[in-house]
Structure 1
Amino acid sequence: MIKDLPENKVKDIAIAVALEKESAESKIWYVYLINLKNEPIENVLITSRGYGEKDGKPVKTSTLRHMFPVVGQRAFKVIEPIDEQTFGLNNEYWLSYYIGKNIYDKKFIFLPESIVDVNFIRLPVVNKVGVMIL
């Protein structure tokens, strides 16, 4: 039964959006998975999708899936590039991974207009400026 399953809480794992490059014409952004743990995580699966409203009409992006066999301790992986036009949507990243035989999962959602300058921090491990959800 579901009540008998262990409660595996996701800790020390973050999803971040970072400004990669900026020019007069455009900005290039990437989404990162950051493992802040002192141990690797394995069989990492991430699904990403955007949804919300734009100009009063419902909008959904494609669902993308990403797989990483291992993300090392205190390491990061680039998940995907992200277009600035999606910052007005909910950007959802659903993460699952293993540590040993235990599975962990968590949903991370960047709310509309949350990827803005006032929310920027220096991202740990990645060492870039961006917005992070722990």
Structure 2
Amino acid sequence: MKKDIEIPPVTGVFIAAVREENKEFRSMDWNAYLINDKNVPLEMVLIVTRGYDEKDSTSTMRHTIKVLPAKSFAKIEFMEDSVLRLNNEFLVTFFEGNTMFEKKFLFPGNSIKATALTNIPVINKKGILAT
């Protein structure tokens, strides 16, 4: 039964790590964002995140977004410096109309760093896109 479910490839949806100033704590923090670069909204978005390597892992976190409008973005979570050495995985599932989409995004260990910044679509800030 499961093999009969068709899930089309995901395009126009990204996960980005963006380094931003936290004025309250006077620090520079990494935050993960979900980006919808499509011309249609994403509905019933479920994001499951975890960090891991051969010997360590973080708790699994779950986030939901009811609707992410077209050409918009939403902050998912703060990424503490201690987890940046881990592989950080984001499993994103959503509906576009009546079709379900799913994609696993990954920041390999130590890939989130200030020297790897690029322009991020829609947000118009510098950051790193997950693969």
| TM-score normalised by length of structure 1 | 0.88
* Aligned counterparts of 2:2 and 2:59: Cα–Cα separation in 1: 31
Partner residue in 2 for 1:76: 73
Q: Is the 8 A contact 2:51 2:86 kept in 1?
A: yes
Partner residue in 2 for 1:65: 62
* Aligned counterparts of 2:47 and 2:67: Cα–Cα separation in 1: 13
* Aligned counterparts of 1:16 and 1:131: Cα–Cα separation in 2: 5
Aligned-residue offset at 1:49: 0.5
Matches within 5 A, 1:40-51: 40-51=41-52
Aligned-residue offset at 1:91: 0.3
Aligned-residue offset at 1:84: 1.4
Partner residue in 2 for 1:12: 12
Partner residue in 2 for 1:124: 121
* Aligned counterparts of 2:27 and 2:40: Cα–Cα separation in 1: 37
Aligned-residue offset at 1:125: 1.1
* Aligned counterparts of 1:75 and 1:129: Cα–Cα separation in 2: 16
Query: C-alpha deviations, 1:11-65, integer Å up to 9, x for none?
Result: 0100000001179x74211100000101101000000000115xxxx11101000
| TM-score normalised by length of structure 2 | 0.90
* Aligned counterparts of 2:30 and 2:86: Cα–Cα separation in 1: 15
Please, what is the CA RMSD of the aligned residues? 1.8
Q: Percent identity?
A: 38
Change (3 A) 1:35 1:101: same
Aligned-residue offset at 1:87: 1.0
| Matched length | 129
Query: C-alpha deviations, 1:62-85, integer Å up to 9, x for none?
Result: 100000000000100000000111
Unaligned runs of 5+ in 1: none
Letter in 2 for 1:67: T
Change (3 A) 1:22 1:79: closer
Unaligned runs of 5+ in 2: none
Q: Is the 8 A contact 2:7 2:102 kept in 1?
A: no
Aligned-residue offset at 1:100: 1.2
* Aligned counterparts of 2:75 and 2:36: Cα–Cα separation in 1: 12
Runs of 4+ in 1 over 4 A off after TM superposition: none
